Structure 1
Amino acid sequence: MPRSVSDQDLLRGLERATWRVGATTNDDDLFALILEAAGDIGYDSASLMVYDRASDALVVRAAKGAQLVGTKVAAGPAISWRAMERRQPIVLKGPAGPELPHTYTKNVPYAIVLPLLVGAKALGVLNVNRGAEPTESQVGFLRILAYQAAFAIERAGLYADLQLFTGQALSQEEESRRHIARELHDGLAPVIVSAYGILQNPGKTEADVKRATDFLRKAIQETRAIIGSVRPGTLEDLGLAGAISSVATEVAAEAGWEIEEDIGDIGPVRADAEAALYRATVEALLNAKRHAGAHKVTVKLRQDDAYLEIVIADDGQGFASEQWGEASATAGHFGLLHMRERIGLLGGVCKVASKPGEGTTVRITVPRDRVS
């Protein structure tokens, strides 16, 4: 049974919660602390749900009073989704109606649902169920706690992203260095040495000079290719939209595809983000060329206020994969894994839908504010 607490008790509880939540970066510890802090008003059961964009569902990450952790609530009429959409707390006098089949609020006298908001973005909800009607002070306490929780969850997510992206960036930087070193050692250096050896020969003939000149021309081509592997020239000349259109047309001509483009104006994109998005697109096109056996390929580049999206779809032979999942190394699609790493550095996702005989769709989605 919920206990009676004074406003002074609630204020002390907020002070404790502020200090403890602010000092925690581990997700599980953070979620548990939030529910513990909510317990200061007294509740029969409670849960914290976080929005998972990949499944478009709210996922229970912590719960008291029921074994609910891991439960998913798909977008729909549930009270949790109503609070998310309204961006306002909801106090429901139960029992909840049959239109809420996916919540556990059906048989509790009072359900309090608070969206976890950072600015206009809703990260999830805090659900508190009580046998007694909450006071204005208690709802106010939960509202403040929800704001604190939202900012702490956002901060913890950013901290985790920073650690992940730092490791990935260092790994990619080292791989780029190894790639350039291999290109210089195996490609450019032998060509230059060959030209130098010919030109150093005091008995060289006109044919030798011509051969040395051919070697030097090849060295120039190799140098341009190495520079292009670091920063493709088409990005400098055409921008991301133009570069994607250009490479799609080029690969389509080589593969004999019919190409369909829906490439819109996306505005300015940071140079490093341009390069990552361009390379991921090229990788997807080359994978289709190598493996798909396609007749038609569609390339789309579009954005809204929140996300930038690139879609590469072919009508080829496809392969077995999880629906909208990520290709695994065991499937032999290592290029798709590299794409995922590149896009992950931008806080985005790279997903693949493919079935044997039904073609393949690669969907690259990144937050707009991470690439501007």
Structure 2
Amino acid sequence: MRLMPVADTTRFTLTLLLAMGLLALSLLLLLLPVQWMIGWILNGNERQLLATVQSVTTALAYTLTLPDLQRLLHDCLIDSFGCTAIALYVKGDGEQLCAVLQEPSSPTSFPALPLHGGLAGVLTQSTEPVETSRLAARLAHVSLSAGEREVLAAPVVLWLPLHSASALQGLLGLGPRRGGELFTGQERQLLMTLAYQAATTLHNVQLMAAVNAAHDELTQVHRQLLLAREQEWRRMAAELHDGLLQQLLGIGYQLHRAQGLTAARCAGSGRGGEPLAVVLAEARQELARAVKQLRALLGALHPADLEVVGLRAALTEYIEQIRQPLGPQAPTITLVAGNADPPLPALHQLCLYRCAQEAVRNALRHAQAQHIRIRLQWSPECSLVEVVDDGQGFVVPERLSQFARRKHFGLIGIEERVRALGGKVCIRSQLRGGTTLLVWIPSVERQEGQNQREQGDGCGGEEGDDRGEARRSHPCGPGR
């Protein structure tokens, strides 16, 4: 057997080692781009998720309605995180957590959970996401309700407690991700950030709902007080009409009889009775003036004609009452309305009448207007009255409440009446440029529908400041 020389063996070994080194280097060069590509993809996905969560949390900070919260969570968790199912629980009436969002929707909704039950209790104590498997293990020896057992069997793999203001505001359950991937540590941190902001938003939504409920209750109480005040004024008007007014009329009749008897006796006896007759005549005139003032007071307390003849005819009668005492010097007052009275509730008619009455009174007393136009308009959606005058005008304050500082309570009363019916007041005026008062009141059906939408959305109608109330135009306004 011939042996290979030592030098040849050494060269072979070196060649083999060099070949193996070159092979290893080639494999490394091939693997590095693959690893870099995988890392780039993973880091790119995390950066994209981070940008999405930042955008959603910013939007949640300005969210005050439950539907908007549901939409943002749905878009983020389903579209960005790739969850196949989500369930959002919020505190409902009583001691319960109610499911308000379920995706995908199905005929069988998630059952309500007891707020202080075992499942909620475990999640309340947790400050990080909890897997359903771990949750079930911790509740293995705890007595659970049927609803809690059903929730544990639902297609949810991860639960996020929603903590805010040192209390559990709700629960967020996430289903498996598309493709079966698990949540990474970075993704869990993003989910906790999202859960924190969602809890804060949910708390704000609940606070806003409470404020809206209190506002609705206050509005209802204000409306009842307004109705009670009108009923009291009606009672006072009836008592004055049936009592004092009739007594004054009776006294006038007796004075008329006394004047006639005195004149007859003086004529029969031949004695002069002129002075006494003159006194009685003056007493009757003074009594007639008192009766006229009392009737005007009765009309101010409660316009009796309004319920009998309707809003249009009542305003026409009011205009005539203004014109008669002034005679030829009376300003021109025109009423623009349809041929038939609108089918409005009594409170709506009374409110429009009072607003027109106050506007005309201000135009005559303060603005020295020579031309006044009253316009009535109504539709199934709303009703309005507009009063335009060519008087001196005034500077509209920033807030209508500032009228109280000037001792002008008439416009404050208008705003209170209109707001109690869900309406708006618009005032436009300038010095030596006249004044326009526009009062808009929604129909009962529209107001009820608006209240239902606000309660369903978790937010109320915009309240706004008094300046907005005073200057904003409305659907039934001029030119519409």
Normalised TM-score (structure 2): 0.40
Structure number with the higher helix fraction is: 2
Looking at CA atoms only, which structure, 1 or 2, has the larger radius of gyration? 2
Structure number with the higher strand fraction is: 1
Normalised TM-score (structure 1): 0.49
